[in-house]
């Protein structure tokens, strides 16, 4: 895949900040083609078995996020929520690590706490939400653009 236009050659593969939340594992995976929030089974309350390719919605402290199921022969079943793809706007691994750390910190902050800390809460207008999108309290696109230093 190294010659594909969406691959960022400045990035490698790295797991960032995995920690237990409600008994399961949440963390961010950086690759040269995406930055995703991963959910790994740990015997806890977050995990829900769904077939690869199916979607589910999880209530996390930041709000509701959509996760997609997948299965890897080495890793086993996992679920992920896309954060940034493609990652062409990330100049290097140091920036990708910082964006991943900032995203994890924001995921574990309830929206009311984000406002108290000087953040803003943006709601998606009802007309902009279709069946395949999650009606999130925080606009993930705006949040991640700010993390990546873009407006």
Tell me the pLDDT of the chain averaged across its residues.
Answer: 80
pTM for this predicted structure: 0.72
Name the CATH code of domain 14-147 (choices 3.90.1150.10, 1.10.8.50, 3.30.1460.40, 3.40.630.10).
3.30.1460.40
Is the pLDDT higher at 47 or at 142?
Answer: 47
Is the pLDDT higher at 131 or at 41?
Answer: 41
pLDDT at 132 over 60: no
48 Cβ contact partners less than 8 Å away, ≥ 6 residues apart? 56
Is the pLDDT higher at 79 or at 75?
Answer: 79
pLDDT at 70 over 50: yes
Calculate mean pLDDT across residues 82-88: 94
DSSP secondary structure string for all residues of 28-93? EEE-SS-EEEEEE--SSSS-----TT-EEEEEETTEEEEEEEEEETTTEEEEEEEEESS-TT--SH
Give the pLDDT confidence of 98-129 residue by residue, as tens digits. 999 999 999 988 876 554 555 444 333 333 33
Q: Where are the domains of the chain?
A: 14-147
């Amino acid at each position: 895949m190294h010659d594909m236009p969406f691959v960022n050659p400045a990035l490698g593969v790295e797991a960032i900040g995995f920690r237990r939340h409600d008994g399961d594992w949440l963390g961010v995976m950086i690759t040269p083609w995406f930055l995703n929030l991963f959910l790994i089974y740990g015997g806890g309350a977050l995990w829900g078995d769904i077939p690869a390719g199916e979607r589910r919605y999880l209530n996390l402290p930041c709000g509701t996020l959509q996760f997609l199921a997948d299965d890897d022969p080495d890793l086993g079943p996992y679920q992920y929520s896309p954060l940034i793809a493609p990652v062409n706007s990330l100049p290097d691994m140091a920036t990708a690590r910082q964006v991943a750390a900032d995203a994890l910190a924001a995921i574990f902050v309830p929206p009311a706490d984000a406002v108290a800390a000087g953040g803003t809460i943006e709601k998606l207008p009802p007309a902009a939400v279709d069946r395949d999108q999650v009606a999130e309290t925080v606009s993930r696109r705006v949040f991640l653009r700010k993390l990546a230093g873009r407006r």
